[in-house]
Structure 1
Amino acid sequence: MPSANHPQPTLIHVLREAGAAIRLFDMGRRVSKLTGELFERIEQARIPYPLPFLHHAWIGILIWHPKQPEQNAIWFLKLPLDEQGFLVQAARDDLVQRLLQNAVNAKSGALEEDALKDNPFAFKPDQDKMAIFHALAAQSTGVSASSYFETAQDYINGELPLDRWTDLALQGLADLVVRLDDKSNANALAARIAELPLPALASISTLLEHLVPPVKVRDALSARLDQMLADSTTDPLVVAAVIRGLSNIQDEHFKQREVLKVLASKHALEAEVIVAIATRCSLALQAPEVLQPFLERLAAGKAGQAGFSRVLADLMFMPALRALIMQAFRNPQRSETLAAAIGEMFGQSFGGH
């Protein structure tokens, strides 16, 4: 056990001591890069985890040994957070102890993927996140795109017919979207979005949420969203996917307009659509003029009371939103439907207080 004079080493320290180079990614709401310095501060409980999702920190760690590539590994860790959003230290210490023991046990002294075997903190990301993770990992370590990338490029360039979307591999599309800083890829995708079959549009949009789409791609997605919202028969899963594709754009006013557009449509009553807004566009919800109609749609929506309570419990875990939601709850203009949903939620969760 570490003593006061010899505190528990950080996870980053253990990995570096094993001679590994590392890249860290948040794998919660979306896949994004984390710096080692930031994560050390999180580990030392100096700052709360900045991107909590379902009360956990979801971390992807790419570990590679430039001189010994056979020892490269990928770990996915799900670490619990306390009520303030800090890493639960006991869980972190337990993980570090397991890794240290693994290092002692390994003949070469190198950490291996077996370190996570039967580990309670390990998790497996869904397919979309795994594809983006591999695409970003390849890009950040200078490795070529997958063999599926060329087919994805051919498709968006119009060299394959639209109905050949079934030929596209998720990994190829992920490789494409992480390479949209290449103007030819961005221009080709922007031009193709208007006519993409819905399954291809949904796949590409879902992957785009992990990147900041170029302006041309953003505008093409927005125009396609207008078309879909005008059609009440559009599959809500595709509407939700396009919302996700627009969720990481940097122009918050643009994003707020897109969210309001969706909230004004009947599609906002669909569980998949309102959850996409809640989980992916939480920054847009910090604008009171967006938050109020969001709460109204959530209360009236098909997700019911259970969906209302679950979505709000997650949003209220974010300090920036908690106060704004409480303020919106007290809005005298709120509907009876919203008032009833609030009463039901607080009665269940807080014993009527």
Structure 2
Amino acid sequence: MTAHTIDTISEFMLHAGTDYRVYDMGRGIELMDAQTFLDLENNKLPVPCPRAGQAWFAVVFWNKNLSQEQYIWFVKLPIDERSLVVQAARNQFLEAVVKALGSQLEKSAEKGGQLPENPFIFTPSQQQLADINAIIRRDLALPARDGLNKAIEFVKNPTSDAWQELALQDIADLAAHIETDDIAKALEQNLAALPVQVLTALCSSFENSAYDDAFTDSLINLYSSAEYAEIQHMILRGLKGSQNKQKVSSFINKLLNEGEPDTECLVIIAGRHFRLLTDQTLLMNYFSKVIAQDSSYQLFRGIYADLVQVPETRIGLLTLMRKQDLPTDIANAIASLYQTVSPQKSAN
């Protein structure tokens, strides 16, 4: 096997005889089917959830004939102006991998799945590591860790100081199994009684889970009564996992129309609830709040630059730029986009 005969990461995994899964880690953690990932690699599809000009993936692989272990590569690849993977970068990544490992992924396994140093790998945060490990264990139906039972017992009786014995991984495992009846019931009953440390970690993990209407209501109600802005921020992140998108959309609309969301809330809406911003009315309300938060338009320009890379929101943003009779604040903010581009063109 040589770099010249392998054109994609997908092919490399298949030729190496491994089973594998790919998770998009750009804006949360979302499973991506193998064909979609291959199409992204071949520039047939844009990257759905880019962030900071990069596509972020966790590639999980295992070879049942060699080991019972699973290994993860955390790969980031630059995208172009159309949100397509820059294939030269992907090829450079493959060359580094093939040169170091050949076709023998067990060489990687001997090093705990680590790749040779290259500019296309990244180290997730501790929260992301806990979440992706919990999700993989759940998706592959691997035996539950002992810490999950400890976390379940705590949320059933959150009055003790036992939370200090919980690891971040225990809390992530709990969130990953929120569809389990006893866990869901315990969380609905005791969510407001959880220590801040446990609640914020849980809410961060909830963004990568999937839960029903009842728990969506619990989070929304808790947002209204939360004592600290930090809790509200994490609840807003956690609402990404709700399967009732209409209810979340209504909540965010109300927050924008009647509330005073701070900068962090506005950034979380763009980062985690970007799919809701395909609604033009919500988008206009959202940008009005962004501009009210920062009249220099710097925040607006940063969020616009971020969202215009996301395929689902790009068309709406480009349409907004051509829209007639815009409110003055939004019209002025859009004009500021042109003002920042024009000097750059003149300098070039």
User: Alpha carbons of 1:265 and 1:196: their partners in 2 closer, same or farther (altered >3 Å)?
Assistant: farther
Native 8 Å contact 2:46 2:311 kept in 1 = no
Distance 1:118 1:281, change over 3 A: same
* Whole-angstrom distance in 2 between the partners of 1:340 and 1:162: 54
Residue aligned with 1:211, SS: coil
Mapped contact 1:79–1:87 kept (Cα < 8 A): yes
Q: Secondary structure at the match of 2:56?
A: strand
What's the CA shift for 1:51?
2.4
Post-superposition offset of 1:312: 1.1
Residue type at the aligned position of 1:13: E
Of the structure 1 ranges 76-85 and 235-244, higher mean CA displacement relative to structure 2 is found in 235-244
**Change beyond 3 A, Cα 1:74–1:192:** same
Match of 1:212 in 2: 210
In the TM superposition, what is the alpha-carbon distance from 1:42 to its structure 2 partner?
1.6
Following superposition, the deviation at residue 59 of structure 1 comes to 0.7
Q: 1:249 aligns with which of 231, 242, 258?
A: 242
Residue 305 of structure 2, aligned match among 308, 313, 318? 313
| One-letter identity of the residue aligned with 2:120 | F
Q: 1:72 to 1:178 in 2, by over 3 A?
A: closer
Q: Verify the 8 A CA contact 1:71 1:110 in the aligned structure 2.
A: no
Instruction: Give the conservation status (yes or no) of the 8 Å contact 2:49–2:310.
Output: no
CA contact (8 A) 2:26 2:49 kept: yes
Q: CA contact under 8 A between 1:48 and 1:85: conserved in structure 2?
A: yes
Deviation for aligned residue 1:20: 1.9
Q: Write the letter of the residue equivalent to 2:102.
A: V
Q: CA deviation at 1:335?
A: 4.2
3-state SS of 1:58 partner: strand
Aligned partner of 1:36 among 11, 34, 37: 34
1:195 deviation in Å?
2.6
Under a length normalisation based on structure 1, what TM-score does the superposition of the two structures give? 0.87
Tell me how far apart the structure 2 counterparts of residues 235 and 265 of structure 1 sit (CA, whole Å): 19
State yes or no: 1:238 paired with 2:245: no
Q: Cα offset for 1:116? A: 2.0
Give 3-state SS (helix, strand or coil) of 2:72's partner.
strand
In the alignment, is the contact (CA less than 8 A) between 1:296 and 1:335 conserved in 2? no
State the SS of the aligned residue for 2:119.
coil
* Unaligned residue ranges in structure 2 (runs of 5+): none
Q: Do the aligned partners of 2:75 and 2:121 also contact (CA within 8 Å) in 1?
A: yes
CA distance in 2, matches of 1:192, 1:173: 15
Question: Is 1:102–1:115's contact at 8 Å kept on the other side of the alignment?
Answer: no
Matches within 5 A, 1:1-353: 8-69=6-67, 72-104=70-102, 110-112=107-109, 116-158=115-157, 160-161=158-159, 164-228=162-226, 234-268=227-261, 270-301=262-293, 305-328=297-320, 330=323, 332=325, 334-336=327-329, 338-351=330-343
| C-alpha deviation, 1:235, in angstroms | 2.8
Task: Report how far residue 70 of structure 1 moved.
Answer: 7.4
- State how far apart, in whole Å, the 1-side matches of 2:203 and 2:114 are: 35
Instruction: Give the match's secondary structure for 1:283.
Output: helix
Q: Deviations over 1:25-72 (max 9, x none)?
A: 111101111122221122122222222222221110112121322774
| In structure 2, C-alpha distance between the alignment counterparts of 1:28 and 1:340, rounded to whole Å | 30
Question: 3-state SS of the aligned residue for 1:87?
Answer: coil
Counterpart AA for 1:299 = I
Do 1:23 and 1:62's aligned partners in 2 also have CA atoms closer than 8 Å? Answer: yes
* Contact residue 49 and residue 86 of structure 1 kept, 8 A: yes
Q: Match of 2:49, SS?
A: coil
Tell me, yes or no, if the aligned pair for 1:21 and 1:64 is still in contact at 8 Å: yes
Change (3 A) 1:304 1:281: farther
Q: CA contact under 8 A between 1:22 and 1:63: conserved in structure 2? A: yes
CA contact (8 A) 1:190 1:220 kept: yes
- Report the alpha carbon displacement of residue 110 of structure 1 after superposing the two structures with TM: 4.5
Calculate the TM-score normalised by the size of structure 2.
Answer: 0.88
Letter in 2 for 1:126: S
Q: Counterpart amino acid of 2:90?
A: R
CA distance in 2 between partners of 1:12 and 1:303 (Å): 46
Deviation of 1:351 after TM superposition, in Å, equals 4.3
Cα offset, 1:222, TM superposition: 1.2
The CA distance in 1 between the partners of 2:308 and 2:48, in whole Å, is 14
Tell me if structure 2 keeps the 8 A contact 1:8–1:93: no
| Counterpart contact for 2:208–2:241, Cα < 8 Å | yes
Relative to structure 1, the CA distance from residue 67 to residue 164 in structure 2 (aligned partners, 3 Å threshold; closer, same or farther) is same
Task: Give the gaps of 5 or more residues in structure 1.
Answer: 229-233
Q: Structure with the greater relative contact order (CA < 8 A, sep ≥ 6): 1 or 2?
A: 2
Write the deviation string for residues 144-176 of structure 1: whole angstroms up to 9, x where unpaired.
233321221111111x41654333321111111
Work out whether residues 95 and 121 of structure 1, in 8 Å CA contact, stay in contact via their aligned partners in 2: yes
How far did residue 17 of structure 1 move? Answer: 1.9
- Identity of matched residues, %: 25
- The answer to whether the Cα contact below 8 Å between 1:178 and 1:211 also exists between their aligned partners in 2 is yes
In 2, the alpha carbon distance for the partners of 1:44 and 1:352 equals 32
Does the C-alpha gap of structure 1 residues 247 and 349 become closer, same or farther in structure 2, counting only changes over 3 Å? farther
1:204–1:45 CA distance, 2 compared to 1 (3 A):
same
